[in-house]
C-alpha cells in the first residue's frame, strides 16, 4: 500500500510505505543493479527468458517493427501483436 503521509519510513507492522519511500527503494535497487553489472555477466544477472525477450525487442527496433508512442493512453490500450 502506498500512503501519502509525512512519515517516510516503512511501517513494519502494516507494510505501508510512502511514495517517497518507494522512490528511495527503487533508487537503491537501480544502484545495486548497476554495481552488479560491473562484476557479473548479464547471463548471470537475468533469466534466459528475459534475455530472449530483450533480444527480440531489440531486433524489432532494428527492423522498424515498433510504433512511436505519442500518448501514454494509446500505448497502454493497444493490443500486443503476435511474436
| CA separation, residue 9 to residues 13, 26, 74 (Å) | 12, 14, 36
Does residue 32 share a domain with residue 1?
yes
Does residue 5 share a domain with residue 35?
yes
Does residue 82 share a domain with residue 50?
yes
| pLDDT for position 6 | 53
Does residue 1 share a domain with residue 32?
yes
**SS3 of 11, please?**
strand
Greatest Cα pair distance, the chain, in angstroms, is 50
pLDDT digits (tens, 9 = 90+) for 61-70: 999 998 888 8
Does residue 33 share a domain with residue 14?
yes
Model-level pTM? 0.50
For residue 27, what are the domain limits? 1-40
Q: How far apart are CA 81 and CA 83, in angstroms?
A: 6
Amino acid at each position: 500500500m502506498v500512503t501519502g503521509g509525512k512519515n517516510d519510513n516503512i511501517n513494519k507492522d502494516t507494510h505501508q510505505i510512502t511514495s517517497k519511500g518507494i522512490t528511495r527503494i527503487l533508487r537503491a535497487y537501480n544502484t545495486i543493479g548497476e554495481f552488479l553489472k560491473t562484476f557479473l555477466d548479464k547471463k548471470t544477472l537475468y533469466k534466459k527468458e528475459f534475455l530472449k525477450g530483450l533480444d527480440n525487442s531489440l531486433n524489432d527496433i532494428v527492423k522498424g517493427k515498433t510504433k512511436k508512442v505519442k500518448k501514454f493512453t494509446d500505448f497502454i490500450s493497444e493490443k500486443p501483436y503476435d511474436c
